[in-house]
Chain A
Amino acid sequence: MITQEPIHVKIAEFILALIVPKDVSFVLDGGFKGFLAERSAAAEERERETERETERSAAAEERERVDLRIFCHVGCVNAPKTWGKEIYSAKNEEHALWTIYEADGGICIHVNDSEELTRLQHIAFYQEEQQAWTIYSDLNEEQELESLRYPMLPLILYYLTTKTESLLVHASGVFDGEHGRIFSGFSGVGKSTMAGLWESAGAQVINDDRLMLRKLDGRWWMFNTPMYYTDVPKKAPLDFIYLPFHHPENTYERGNGIQMSMRFMAHCIQHGYNEKHVQWHLDQVMDIAKHIPITRLGVVPTTEVLTFIKEHESA
């Protein structure tokens, strides 16, 4: 049995409609709290009563525009055994966090518990044309259904980026009220440090580790996505991209388009090889590089680097 009213989650202005069973407790962890676009049933009812047909609220319009439907079911054992050969496995030594299989009209992903890799957590089918996921999940320790439990949501977001003008990237992002800047790189290059320095100077930190970039109305924006901690949705324009690295002095190097695009692309999240997806993501990066300067930034992690950056941006 499923509910008639889906739960709506809004991430990077994508609307995800979760269709969940009625007869089980369904949970999203605390990281989703600010991203829920659904109100209580009573609030819905009140709204329906007061809504005139010609004056629908923005929220009601939003509900009509669903980007992705996610059908949630209980029990991996109930998943139809319709997957085919293995395509890719995200292995951590001998155990996989997830494994992708061929499936009719899309793919099937077997997702293991990130804290106990030998335990299957979800079997998820993605139908690309329908933009729909069907996820079978085992109940958690509290006998609750947690269909988007890590790493299911990042996988879903990743596949959204293979169909839309968007990218997931390892980066911190800040907005100082005038410009949005991201600092992209792998662990240890100073993403969080840079975010912290900007925050101490009064800027808003969009996120200090992972961002979704999305092109809307002809320009690129950065968004945060649900993490393991509670946060509210944040959005800022994307004006500058930096690839920081530790260095004895602050340095600023703008290279040619392809060189910097590839360096930036190396920090974009990809889940296994699919030529169509790689080509699509390359198109997005090339478009970004056409509009937004990408700079290698040697960094001494003090507040002086902020002035250094601003001076070079305006030079």
Chain B
Amino acid sequence: MKDVIQQIYDKKESYVCRSTGDELLLIPLKNNVADFNQYLTLNEVGAFIWDNIQLGDDEASLVAKICAEFEANEEEVLDDLRAFLEKLRTYLEIQ
């Protein structure tokens, strides 16, 4: 799982990010041009996770921060986090 987080972190230069209220827009760069047809919107929790991945957090740290921020159960958070990271990995086209 740590590898997935690292892979997502490594992809950050391939995306333009923009906050829109609580949400975060990710716009991919293709052939050195932003591709607005392939954008992804992250909700408040997704944006929180993305931001903290950019700060260098690992899985344990992410879980702790999400639990604290959103008053959630650790076990559920871990499952949801892993599912979210898998979806993000697919979207980011990480092999």
Q: Name the segment of B23-31, B45-53, B60-68 touching the other chain.
A: B23-31
User: Are A278 and B16 closer than 8 Å at their CB atoms?
Assistant: yes
Q: For the complex, what is the distance from the CA of A263 to the CA of B25, rounded to whole Å?
A: 13
- What's the minimum C-beta distance from A87 to chain B, rounded to whole angstroms? 8
Residues of A near B55 (CB, < 8 A) are none
**Other-chain contact of B37, A257, A262, A272, A279 (Cβ < 8 Å):** A262
Residues of B near A279 (CB, < 8 A) are 16, 18
Q: What is the total number of residues of chain A having a CB less than 8 Å from a CB of chain B?
A: 15
Residues of B near A258 (CB, < 8 A) are 20, 23, 25, 39, 41
Interface of chain B residues 1 through 42 with chain A (CB within 8 A): 16, 18, 20, 23, 25, 27, 29, 32-37, 39, 41
User: Are B32 and A262 closer than 8 Å at their CB atoms?
Assistant: no
With A258-B41, A278-B27 given, is the CB distance from A270 to B33 under 8 Å? yes
Residues of B near A36 (CB, < 8 A) are none
The secondary-structure label for the interface of chain A is helix
Question: Any chain B CB within 8 A of the CB of A203?
Answer: no
User: Are A262 and B23 closer than 8 Å at their CB atoms?
Assistant: no
User: Are B29 and A286 closer than 8 Å at their CB atoms?
Assistant: no
User: What is the total of A-B residue contacts with beta carbons within 8 Å?
Assistant: 37
User: Are B34 and A286 closer than 8 Å at their CB atoms?
Assistant: no
Q: For the complex, what is the distance from the CA of A266 to the CA of B38, rounded to whole Å?
A: 10
With A258-B25, A262-B39, A278-B27 given, is the CB distance from A273 to B20 under 8 Å? no
- What's the minimum C-beta distance from A155 to chain B, rounded to whole angstroms? 15
- What's the minimum C-beta distance from A34 to chain B, rounded to whole angstroms? 32
User: Are B37 and A266 closer than 8 Å at their CB atoms?
Assistant: yes
Question: Any chain B CB within 8 A of the CB of A282?
Answer: yes
User: Are B36 and A265 closer than 8 Å at their CB atoms?
Assistant: yes
Residues of B near A150 (CB, < 8 A) are none
- What's the minimum C-beta distance from A227 to chain B, rounded to whole angstroms? 24
Question: Any chain B CB within 8 A of the CB of A49?
Answer: no
- What's the minimum C-beta distance from B46 to chain A, rounded to whole angstroms? 14
User: Are A286 and B37 closer than 8 Å at their CB atoms?
Assistant: no
With A275-B16, A278-B27, A279-B16 given, is the CB distance from A266 to B36 under 8 Å? yes
Question: Any chain B CB within 8 A of the CB of A88?
Answer: yes
Q: For the complex, what is the distance from the CA of A88 to the CA of B20, rounded to whole Å?
A: 28
Least CB separation from B32: chain A residue:
A273
Interface of chain A residues 264 through 289 with chain B (CB within 8 A): 265-266, 270, 272-273, 275, 278-279, 282, 286
User: Are B36 and A262 closer than 8 Å at their CB atoms?
Assistant: yes
Interface of chain A residues 222 through 271 with chain B (CB within 8 A): 257-258, 262-263, 265-266, 270
- What's the minimum C-beta distance from B32 to chain A, rounded to whole angstroms? 5
Q: For the complex, what is the distance from the CA of A282 to the CA of B25, rounded to whole Å?
A: 10
Residues of B near A270 (CB, < 8 A) are 33-34
Residues of A near B18 (CB, < 8 A) are 279, 282
Residues of A near B35 (CB, < 8 A) are 266
13 A–B contacts from the bound complex (CB under 8 Å): A257-B20, A258-B25, A262-B36, A262-B39, A263-B37, A265-B36, A266-B35, A270-B33, A270-B34, A272-B32, A275-B16, A279-B18, A286-B20
Beyond contacts A258-B20, A265-B36: 5 other A-B pairs, Cβ-Cβ < 8 A, are: A258-B23, A262-B37, A273-B32, A273-B33, A275-B16
